[in-house]
Structure formats: C-alpha cells, structure tokens
Amino acid sequence: MWGLASYIKPYLKFVILGPLFMILEVFFDLMQPTLAAHIVDFGVVPRDFHVIERTGILMAVVALLSLVTGVGCNLFASRASQNFGADIREALFKKVQTFSFDNMDTFKSGSLITRMTNDVVQVQNLLQMALQGLVRAPSLLIGSVVMALIINLRLGLILLGTLIVLIVVLVLLIRSSSPLFAAVQTKLDAVNTRIQENLAGIRVIKAFVRSGYEKEQFQAVNRDYTEISIRAARFIALNSPIVTFIMNGCLVAILLYGGDQVSSGMGQVGDLVAFVNYVVQVLSSLLMVSGLLMNITQANVSAKRIREVLDTYSAIEESKQEKRAPITAEHVKLEQVSFSYNHSTAAKDLVLKDINIEARRGDTVAIIGATGSGKSTLVQLLPRLYDVTSGSVQIDGIDIRNLPLLELRRQIGMILQDAFLFTGTIRDNIAFGKPNATQEEIEAAAITAQAHDFVTKLPDGYNTKLGQRGVNLSGGQKQRLSIARALLVKPPILIMDDSSSALDLVTERRLRDALKQLTKDNITFLIAQRISSVMEAQQILVIDEGEIVGRGTHAELLASCDVYQDIYRSQYGKQEVSYGKQQSFQS
C-alpha cells in the first residue's frame, strides 16, 4: 500500500484535516461516560435535579460537537479517497496505453479490467476507512482503556488481559486470510476474462449453438471464484463474533467483580456505569480495528496487483538518441529479421526466420501465404508493435529502434485484419487518426475506400451512431470504414493486413483501382488471401512457416514457386494454372 503513497500527496490537506476532526470526535465521545458517571453520582443518587439538568445540557452539546466533527471527518476522508482512486485509475489507464503487444500478452485484458476497477476500489475504500477508523479506533481504544484504568485499576487489569487475548486471535486470523484474498482476486480475473471473451464472441457462440458449453465453462470459473470467496468470507465472518464473544465475557466478569465492589462499599455506582461505557467503547473500537485490519490485508493484495502494472515498463523501449531530422520514409528495409514471441532464438520457437525485404517509395509489396504462416506478425514489426528478435527493420537507413515511437508510427497507416470500430459516429471513426479533419477530407477518404455510397444512404449519414465495435454494420462496411480511417492520415507507409477479405470481388476491384492513384507515392505492404488482390504488385512475397519461399511478380512466381502455384490452383482450379502462366507471360 505504501507504494501508492505518492497518489495521496495532492490531497494531503484533506488527509490531515480528516484525522484531526476525528481526534476531536473521539475526544467528545470519551467525555460522555464521565459526564454520565457525574449525573449518576451527583445527580441521580442525591436526587439533585439541577446537576442532572446542567450535565444533561452539557452532554447534548458534546454530542452535537461530536456529530459536527464526525461529519467533517467523513467529508474530508471522502474527498481524499475518491480523488485518490480516480488518479490511480487514470494512471493505470495511461500506463496500459504505453504497453507493447508483449505486455498485453502478459497481462490479460480481463485481469487489467479487474485491477482498474475492483482492485482500485479496494485501496480507495481502505484510504476512506483509514482516515476515519485508523484514527478513531486506536484513539478510542487507547483513550477508553486509559480512562477505565483511571476509574478502577483492578477492573482495568481484567480489560487489559482480555485485550491481549484478542490481539493474538486477530493476528492468527489475518495471517490465515491473507493468501486467500490474493487467490480471490486471481479467480476474479478469470471470471472477468471469461465474461469479456463471451460478450465479444456472442455471435460465434450463437452461430455454432455453443451456449450450453459456454455456460458450463462460466459455471466452472464462477464456482471457483465463489468457493474461494466463501473461504475468505469465513475469516471475515469469524472476526466480529469472536471479538464480541470475548469482550462480552470480559463485560460479564467486570459486572460481577465491579458489582461486588459496589455492594461492599469499595466503589461507586457511577464509576461502574462509566467503566461499563468505556468497555462498550473498547468493544466498538476493537470491532472497527479488526475490520480495518481485514481491509488492510485485502487492500494490500490489491495494491500489489496495481503496482505490478504501474511498475511494468513497455517491452518496446523508446529511443534515447538526440533529435534528428524527420524521416521521409523513402526506403524500407528488413534485414535478416527473425522473431519469436518468447524472445528465444531457438529455431523451433521462431515465428519468422531470416526475412529480407526492401521497398522504395511507390512500391507495393504483397505478402501471401497460408493461415498462420507469419504474415500479420511480419507487418506488426514495422510500427514496432513487437520488436525483432534478431536482425533489423530500417526506414531511410535508420534502425526503427533508434527512432521516436510517435514519429515512427505517424509515418505508418495500418489497416488491421480485425476492422475494429469505436462507439460513436461514423465521422468520429474515420477521423480517429486526424480529429481536426474537414468534412471534405473525410468524404474523400470514404470515397476512395468505397464507403461513401453506403454511408450517405444511412438516415444520419456520417453522423450515424455506431454501436459497440460497429455492431450495426456488416463486415464489409466495417472494413471499408477502417480503410478510410487509415487513408485519411495519408501515411507514407501503408499496411493493409487482409483488409478487404469481407468485400465482394467487384467492390474490391473498385477499391484497388482507387488506391492505385492515391498510393502511387506510398510504400504499401499488402497482405491478402486472394491471388487477384496481389497479382498487380511489383513484388510478391510468398511466406510459408515463417520463411520467404518465393519472391517476384505474379508471372515469375506462377512459373517458379510451388507454394504460389498451389494457392493459385486452390482458387482457380488445376486447368487454370497453365492458362494463368500463359496470360502472365503475354502481359
């Protein structure tokens, strides 16, 4: 928890004022039993109504002051804790934005959601309780014990002995519960991950009639979470009854022994009443302390999980070199690039092996290959979503690891395989990379992406609201909007990762024709499954199991590359291979 102390500093005045007001409240609360004893001894027993009246009014004033200071403490504590929680959530969100894909692979999205919600609430609530209970409970406990000892030393020794027993019991409970609270948060991660995955893939689940299976899977993780939560709750549930049982036993002993003292003339009734009141205050403060200690144990687990995220550095290190002239992205070169997701250089772990590519302004490099051959991984190395395991990626002769990330990524427009759209308007989604774009610029990008026609047919046109992930659009429409989003920023390097797979052949043909003029001064990397999408590229790379097994134009590959021929044959049929070769040579 101390690792998050820096987030408290901006609200230090509230952190100080809250406990100060609580100390005043405790002071006023400690006065009440003494005033009650005074009423009994000097007002009730001698039947002096004036003493009862004056002391009663004083007790009412003290109670009012206690109320005012208690409310003040609560206001300051709430102000500090709520802002503290908000700042941590914001810090976590900002930190996640700096994460590389490697970091995101380490921290699953469900776990990150739990840390930014449930874990933050745990530490936020702890601060709220600490500013109130961490001052009130010990102060009330110590003050009540001291006042009890002053009133009657012998009865006070009974109280002290009881407190020692309680402390031992509480320590044992806390030590036993700490590992369980850590396990509860881990199981909650699994529940959130399963929920998120199911909501994202609900259409697939429905289409394959797998609701029953998914229910069973969720029941399993939910049952695990429930069982560990019940086990942890048992310790929390034991806390209050044990404290109450021991303190009630102490109260019985005090009443028996104290009553004997009063009957034998060794004590006064008022003192016994005051002593009992102080014991009740000790009981309430102990319940508060024990609950606070349980909360500290829970929040400490959450604080460690929060620190894990905040202390994680991006696997992609920012360049520390001095500023240089801005790059123009005239030339891209991948030299002997190999890549492994676990950063191992062992050949069996490499996803990409000894990749060499070179492209200049105006070139289109098409990449084709079987599913899982490493095509998407290859283009993700260009904007440093991952770093190469060995070799280098260079732009204008500079290793991209020596370029500022923002400058590098501003040079690259990436149309991902998954056409992800955000909740908002169509205009907002197209202008995502250039928020200040004019309507003319947005429409021009949409026209090139073959999206303008269907957008204008919608009731609200470019102001049409999209649901989560663009749920109210078809796959092809979402792809065209994501293409428009990338084209709007006019990047010198354009990466199209199978971005037209949901388009029909006619629309794709029109898109390719529109892109020819727009991207003539770009370096374009085009990943596609269809031969028709890549056959006009100046350079086609055929990737198989992470290696380039073919390189050349459509005609050259059709004549020399077996893998390319197999892909062509699977799409056009055996009888078309010889015809394709003939047509290619003629052209």
Task: Report pLDDT digits (tens) over 97-153.
Answer: 888 777 777 777 777 888 888 888 888 888 887 787 666 777 777 777 777 777 777
- What gap in Å lies between CA 478 and CA 139, rounded to an integer? 62
Q: 229: how many CB neighbours lie within 10 A of its CB?
A: 16
- What gap in Å lies between CA 249 and CA 130, rounded to an integer? 29
Of 94-98, 146-150, 421-425, minimum mean pLDDT range? 146-150
Q: Which amino acid is at 402?
A: N
Task: Report pLDDT digits (tens) over 169-202.
Answer: 777 777 777 677 778 777 877 787 777 777 666 6
> Angle between the 562-572 and 575-586 helix axes, to the nearest 10 degrees?
110
- Let me know how long the chain is: 587
State the average pLDDT over residues 541-557: 89
Report which of residues 133 and 6 the model is more confident about: 6
The pair of structure tokens assigned to 170 is: 């509480």
Report which of residues 52 and 458 the model is more confident about: 458
Chain centroid to CA 506: how far?
42
Judge whether 366 and 534 are in contact, CB under 8 Å. Answer: yes
Q: Which residues pair with 552 in a beta bridge?
A: 540
The model scores a pTM over 0.85 = no
Judge whether 366 and 543 are in contact, CB under 8 Å. Answer: no
Q: What is the CATH number of domain 2-310?
A: 1.20.1560.10
- What gap in Å lies between CA 288 and CA 77, rounded to an integer? 16
Residue spans per domain, the chain: 2-310
> Angle between the 135-151 and 269-310 helix axes, to the nearest 10 degrees?
160
What pLDDT is recorded for position 393?
92
Per-residue DSSP letters for 525-549?
EEE-S-HHHHTT-SEEEEEETTEEE
- What gap in Å lies between CA 294 and CA 37, rounded to an integer? 35
Q: Which residue has the tokens 């050949």?
A: 347
Task: Report pLDDT digits (tens) over 527-541.
Answer: 888 888 888 888 999
Residue 346 φ then ψ, to 5°: -65, 135
| Three-class SS state of 322 | coil
- What gap in Å lies between CA 442 and CA 457, rounded to an integer? 16
Q: What is the DSSP letter of 460?
A: T
- ∠ at Cα 394 (526, 103), nearest 5°? 80
